[in-house]
Structure 1
Amino acid sequence: MKGMKMPAPHDDLLRPLAHLPAPDFLARAVPRVGKVAMVSSFGADSAVLLHMVAQIDRALPVIFIDTLALFPETLAYQRDLAQHLGLRDIRHVTPDRGALFTHDPDALLHLSDRESCCQLRKVEPLARALHGFDGWITGRKRYQAETRASLLPIEREPETGRIRLNPLAAWTAADIAAYLDRHALPRHPLVTRGYPSIGCQPCTSPVRSGEDPRAGRWRGSAKTECGIHFTGGMMHPDRKDSAA
């Protein structure tokens, strides 16, 4: 039908994989998607998915967005964990310096316009970094927040046709902790200081007992996502045109 976007042939190959255990799902889905990158914040539980990727292909591209506003502990953790896992293609992506000079010369934009700050420092750099890829791997999980409660293992971006793989969608906090322990993976140093979710330093605070794990992100505002999981301003997990 005219104007209707037809799914790519590999959608039917991906659907049967959606209910596999995460490591098997990844191992079988990645080659079926095509050219795939993992996008990692090297945050609180990033070691789990990075470890799985390392077991499949240590040369698989891993995109790390350095917003130039991250905690020093995150930058150190990124270097140490990548070396520990033997990852060979870490792609450091930063905001456009000219755009920063024009729109955020004093690095204070987050105080007046958090959405524009995230767009400038995260969304636009990632869009550039993902150019030419058929799909990408995310570490999102349903338990993290209400906005992720309906997250599917496989999503298709309607505007780009790119596939998103969310192998940990159904995992719980206990699953994450058990995997980290089983494989003796190093933790982000801020976790023990009350940061179960870690983003940019100016917009991340410790989480109190009983709070949502992402309550420390953009505290005091209605904002719950940085925007890299939006397309056309909309969240993806509830879309009916997802691949699974």
Structure 2
Amino acid sequence: MSSSSSAVSFTKPAADPQEAVSRLTRLLGQYDGLDSHTLLEKVLLEEFNGKIAVSSSFGAEAAVLLKLVADVDKTTPILFIDTGHLFEETVQYKATIEEHLGLTNVQTLQPEPIHLQNADRDATLYERDTDYCCHIRKVLPFEKALGPYAAWISGRKRFQNSERAALQPIELDADGRFKINPLYNWDYEKVVSEFKAMGLPKHPLVDKGYPSIGCAPCTRAVKDGEDQRAGRWSGQSKTECGIHKSPSFEAIYI
């Protein structure tokens, strides 16, 4: 079941870029090289305690990160975006994983009705402008939900595509919010082996050729030999929905 977070006094992302860079440098110095579980303990229970959330699509690999988070704190806010175009299997899988892991604070985000009324009244915007469709159905609801938090956790990994090849365990988004990538250096084989070792239920679409799962109109099964995310926005240059902003201050990443 879904529940909303309790009222807490949150700290906003740092407004001073120099202060943010200094903190990022310190975090990388302290936490770079930690295993995924220990990094999550540090950011959830110490560094950003009460000021951090997890983004999850409840897609093909999502359960691994969610299991690691649940092992640290089952009450961690999990932000799930229901765009209105999801596969029904994803909605069902969300409920399965939520119950399986005992997650108590999964929050379902949805696009604002006024945005759909103004720009996507017939729900076919994805046919005309996939970027704008993602913007109103994913990016805007997610940015609104992130408002109270100083940091968030993503399940991105270096192997997934060329744009993610330089991922670091901790990054700084353009909005001054910290992004934690506990699985940044996991390869596909480790994801598969850990998934099995954790005894996690599979997303129903995985065995049907969907190693990366987004919205139904913009996701297809992947053919043998194709990149894992080749089925996302197939035939377009688009590779990301937009919620993952380009990191700021890239020069200090090593």
Pairwise TM-score range, normalised by the shorter structure? over 0.9
Give distance in 2, aligned partners of 1:125 and 1:115: 15
User: What TM-score, normalized to structure 1?
Assistant: 0.92
Task: Report the Cα distance in structure 2 between the residues aligned to 1:75 and 1:131, rounded to whole angstroms.
Answer: 25
Shift of 1:169: 0.5
- Residue 186 of structure 2 corresponds to which residue in structure 1? 171
CA distance in 2, matches of 1:26, 1:203: 32
CA distance in 2, matches of 1:44, 1:134: 27
Deviation at 1:226, TM superposition (A): 0.4
Residues 33 and 163 in structure 1, CA contact (< 8 A), matched pair in contact too: no
Tell me, which stretches of 5 or more residues in structure 2 are unaligned?
Answer: 1-14
Q: 1:161 Cα deviation (Å)? A: 1.7
Instruction: State whether residues 218 and 232 of structure 2, in contact with CA within 8 Å, keep that contact through their aligned partners in structure 1.
Output: yes
Q: Secondary structure at the match of 1:174?
A: helix
2:79 alignment counterpart:
63
The answer on 1:25 being equivalent to 2:49 is no
What percent identity do the matched residue pairs reach? 42
Contact 2:17/2:176 (CA < 8 Å) preserved in 1?
A: no
RMSD of aligned residue pairs (Cα, Å): 1.7
CA apart distance, 1:12: 4.9
Which residue pairs with 1:90 in the alignment? 106
2:114 maps to a residue whose letter is G
Q: Is there any run of 5+ residues in structure 1 with no aligned partner, and where? A: none
Q: Distance in 2 between matches of 1:109 and 1:238?
A: 34
Cα pair 1:156 1:164 within 8 Å, conserved: yes
Would you say the 8 A contact 1:40–1:63 is kept in 2? yes
Q: What's the offset of the Cα at 1:6?
A: 1.2
Q: Counterpart of 2:120? A: 104
Instruction: Note the alpha carbon deviations across 1:158-177, whole angstroms, 9 max, x for none.
Output: 3x321100010000111111
Matched AA of 1:27: E
Task: Please report how far the alpha carbon of residue 157 of structure 1 lies from its aligned counterpart in structure 2 after TM superposition.
Answer: 1.7
Shift of residue 69, structure 1, vs aligned partner: 0.4
Counterpart secondary structure, 2:228: coil
Q: If the length of structure 2 is used for normalisation, what is the TM-score?
A: 0.89
Q: Does the 8 A contact of 2:172 with 2:249 survive in 1?
A: no
Q: Which amino acid aligns with 1:11?
A: L
Q: Is the 8 A contact 1:141 1:169 kept in 2?
A: yes
User: Aligned partners of 1:81, 1:144: CA distance in 2, in Å?
Assistant: 22
Shift of 1:112: 0.8
Shift of 1:42: 0.2
User: Cα distance, 1:4 vs. partner?
Assistant: 7.2
Separation in structure 1 between the aligned mates of residue 189 and residue 249 of structure 2, nearest angstrom: 25
Residue 161 of structure 1 corresponds to 176
The secondary structure found in structure 1 opposite 2:171 is strand
State the distance in 2 between where 1:4 and 1:84 align: 41
